[in-house]
């Protein structure tokens, strides 16, 4: 019965794919896993959102979305423009605790970064994590600019008493992607580990979201570290790619 929050250093950096990867490995171990997306923005009612992606890749059907707004904005701004009520993170925390009573793991994927506003009072995912006493898995972009974004995220967590579950690279160039890691990406590996004061918790291959479920499970196992149920070797990865 554990709860893990998945956040990131920004938007569109692979949080949903990382969430699906953790869910896939947890489901393979058994014991039951639920995935929660407290709020989905930028999607009309009935459109497949992030939880549909998680279900497709991880095979997890125990998914929960509590609010949806059509504009691709922060939850607070999207709720305001839609005229719909803002989400109550206090109620979300209550529901997540209830889910955790009979699941081995409850995964919670945030919207955007750690300090994105969920309501007009300024409630954030960091507040939810602190309320639940849950660690946060930070998904980072390996490219130029990531060190500042990651440092600010980690410092905000520390200031709020939120524990770090690890840093995962949401998308690392794969041989099939036609992209190669550039100089900044390779140099960033060591510095990201220095910022986190621990080895990387994983690096998922670019394009993993296009795999079918069996292939995705293999990619998840290879791309996430032992603490998340995978076999990713941070030292070997850094020796192969880092500078």
Q: 52-82, pLDDT tens digit by residue?
A: 999 999 999 999 999 999 999 999 999 999 9
Q: Where are the beta strands (DSSP E) in 32-92?
A: 33-41, 63-69
Q: Residue 168 sits in a domain of what CATH number?
A: 3.40.50.300
CA dist 217 and 212 (Å) reads: 9
Is residue 162 helix, strand or coil? coil
The strand pairing partners of 69, in sequence order, are 41
Residue that is written with structure tokens 């979305």 in the block? 65
68: helix, coil or strand? strand
d(CA 243, CA 184): 9
Which of the four pLDDT bands, split at 50, 70 and 90, describes residue 177?
Answer: low
**Residue 179 confidence (pLDDT):** 81
Angle between helices 125-132 and 89-100 (to 10 degrees): 40
User: How many structural domains compose the chain?
Assistant: 1
Q: Annotated catalytic sites, by residue?
A: 37
Confidence of residue 238 (pLDDT cuts 50, 70, 90): very high
Distance CA 207, CA 13 (A): 12
Task: Provide the domain limits for residue 119.
Answer: 2-241
Q: What pLDDT score was predicted for residue 31? A: 84
Residues contacting 224, CB < 8 A, separation 6+? 21, 22, 25, 168, 201, 202, 204, 230, 232
Q: Tell me, what's the pLDDT at 202?
A: 98
- pLDDT(1) > 70: no
Mean pLDDT across 231-240: 97
Q: Which residues contact 54 (CB under 8 A, 6 or more apart)?
A: 16, 19, 20, 23, 35, 60, 63, 109
* Distance of alpha carbon 132 from alpha carbon 110, whole angstroms: 14
């Amino acid at each position: 019965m554990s709860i893990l929050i998945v956040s990131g250093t920004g938007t569109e950096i692979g949080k949903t794919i990382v969430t699906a990867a953790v869910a896939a490995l947890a489901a393979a171990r058994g014991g039951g896993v639920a995935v929660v997306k407290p709020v989905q923005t930028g999607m009309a009612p009935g459109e497949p959102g992030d939880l549909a992606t998680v279900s497709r890749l991880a095979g997890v059907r125990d998914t929960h979305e509590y609010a949806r707004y059509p504009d691709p904005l922060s939850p607070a701004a999207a709720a305001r423009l839609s005229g719909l009520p803002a989400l109550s993170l206090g109620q979300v925390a209550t529901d997540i605790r209830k889910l955790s009573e009979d699941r081995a793991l409850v995964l919670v994927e945030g919207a955007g970064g750690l300090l994105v506003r969920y309501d007009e009072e300024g409630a954030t995912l960091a507040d939810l994590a602190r309320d639940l006493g849950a660690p946060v898995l930070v998904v980072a972009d390996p490219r130029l600019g990531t060190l500042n974004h990651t440092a600010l995220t980690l410092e905000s967590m520390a200031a709020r008493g939120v524990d770090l579950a690890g840093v995962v690279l949401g998308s690392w160039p794969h041989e099939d992607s036609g992209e190669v890691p550039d100089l900044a990406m390779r140099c960033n590996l060591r510095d990201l580990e220095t910022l986190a004061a621990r080895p990387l918790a994983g690096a998922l291959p670019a394009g993993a979201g296009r795999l079918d479920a069996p292939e995705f499970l293999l990619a998840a196992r290879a791309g996430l570290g032992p603490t998340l149920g995978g076999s990713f070797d941070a030292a070997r990865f850094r020796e192969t790619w880092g500078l």
